[in-house]
Chain A
Amino acid sequence: MSAVFARLIASRLFWPIVMLLVLFAINLIAFPGFFAITIKDGHLFGSLIDILRNGAPTLIIAVGMTLVIATRGIDLSVGAVCAISGAVACSIILGSPDPANGATVAVAVTVALAISLVLGVWNGFLVAVLGIQPIIATLILMTAGRGMAMLITEGQILTVNSPPFKAMGSGFWFGVPIAVIIAAVVFAVAALLTRRTALGMLIESVGINPEASRQAGVRARGLLFAVYTFCAFCAAIAGLILTANQTAADANNTGLFLELDAILAVVIGGTSLAGGRYSLAGTLVGALVIQTLVTTVYTVGIPPIATMVFKAAVVAAVCLLQSPTTNQALAGFRRRLALRAGKGIAAS
Chain B
Amino acid sequence: MSSIQATDLTGASLGTRVGSGIRSVLTSPKYGPVLVTAVLFAAVFVVGGIRYEGFFSGQVFLNLLVDNAYLIVLAVGMSFVILTGGIDLSVGAVVALSTIIAASLLQSGWSPGVVIPLILVLTSVLGLAVGLMIHVFQVQPFIATLAAMFLARGLCYVISKDSISITDPAFVALAVTRIPLGGGLSITPSVIIALVVVLVAVVVLHYTRLGRTVYALGGSEQSGRLMGLPVARTKVLVYVISGFCSGLAGVLFSFYTLSGYSLTAVGTELDAIAAVVIGGTLLTGGYGFVLGSVLGVLVLGVIQTLITFEGTLSSWWTKIFIGGLLLVFIILQKVLTARRR
Q: Which residues of A contact B (CB under 8 A)?
A: 74, 126, 130-133, 135-137, 139-148, 150-151, 155, 251, 260, 263-264, 267, 273-274, 303, 305-313, 315-316, 319-320, 323-326
Contacts and interface: CB of A to CB of B under 8 A. Distances in A.
Contact of B137 (A131, A133, A319): A319
Contact of B277 (A130, A136, A148, A273): A136
Contact of B151 (A142, A264, A305, A312): A312
Contact of B150 (A140, A274, A312): A312
A298 to B, nearest CB: 15
Contacts of A323: 137-139
B157 to A, nearest CB: 4
B330 interface: yes
Contacts of B144: 319
A146 B270 CA distance: 13
Interface in B112-143: 133, 136-140, 142-143
A136 B326 contact: yes
Among B140, B155, B326, chain A packs the most CB atoms within 10 A around the CB of B326
Contact of A136 (B137, B147, B155, B330): B330
Interface of B: 87, 133, 136-140, 142-144, 146-151, 153-155, 157-158, 161, 270, 273-274, 277, 283-284, 314, 316-320, 322-324, 326-327, 330-331, 334
Contacts of A130: 331, 334
Given A135-B87, A135-B283, A136-B277, A151 B320 contact: yes
B154 A312 contact: yes
A274 B140 contact: yes
Contact of A319 (B147, B317, B330): B147
A151 B316 CA distance: 7
Contact of A144 (B151, B153, B277, B323): B323
Contacts of B314: 150, 155
Given A137-B330, A305-B157, A309-B158, A316 B147 contact: yes
Contact of B154 (A144, A264, A273, A306): A306
Contact of B146 (A143, A260, A305, A309): A260
State the 10 A-B residue pairs at the shortest beta-carbon distance, nearest first: A144-B323, A308-B154, A147-B319, A309-B154, A312-B151, A150-B316, A305-B157, A312-B150, A147-B320, A323-B137
A307 B314 CA distance: 34
B140 A325 contact: no
Given A319-B133, A324-B138, A308 B157 contact: yes
- Per DSSP, are chain A's interface residues mostly helix, strand or loop, or mixed? helix
Nearest to B139: A319
Contact of A315 (B136, B143, B324): B143
Among A137, A264, A309, chain B packs the most CB atoms within 10 A around the CB of A309
A136 B270 CA distance: 10
Nearest to B142: A273
- Per DSSP, are chain B's interface residues mostly helix, strand or loop, or mixed? helix
Contacts of B318: 147
Nearest to B318: A147
Nearest to B137: A323
Given A264-B146, A309-B150, 10 more contacts: A147-B317, A151-B320, A260-B146, A267-B140, A273-B140, A274-B140, A308-B157, A309-B158, A312-B151, A320-B133
A315 B334 contact: no
B150 A315 contact: yes
A266 to B, nearest CB: 10
A234 B166 CA distance: 45
Nearest to B277: A136
A267 B143 contact: yes
A116 B150 CA distance: 28
28 contacts: A74-B142, A131-B334, A135-B283, A139-B274, A140-B326, A140-B327, A143-B326, A145-B323, A147-B316, A147-B318, A147-B323, A155-B314, A263-B142, A267-B140, A305-B154, A308-B150, A308-B151, A308-B153, A308-B154, A309-B151, A311-B150, A315-B150, A316-B151, A319-B139, A319-B144, A320-B137, A320-B139, A323-B137
B147 A312 contact: yes
Nearest to A143: B323
A309 B270 contact: no
A123 to B, nearest CB: 12
Contact of B326 (A131, A139, A273, A309): A139
Contacts of B157: 305-306, 308
B330 A140 contact: yes
A324 B317 CA distance: 45
A144 B143 contact: no
Contacts of B155: 309
Contacts of B138: 323-325
Nearest to B284: A133
A273 B143 contact: yes
A70 to B, nearest CB: 15
A207 to B, nearest CB: 14
B133 A316 contact: yes
Contacts of B277: 136
Nearest to B141: A273
Nearest to B151: A312
Contacts of B137: 319-320, 323, 325-326
A126 B328 CA distance: 12
A126 B323 CA distance: 13
A71 B334 CA distance: 20
A146 B150 contact: no
Contacts of A316: 133, 147, 151
B92 to A, nearest CB: 12
Contacts of A306: 154, 157-158
Nearest to B317: A147
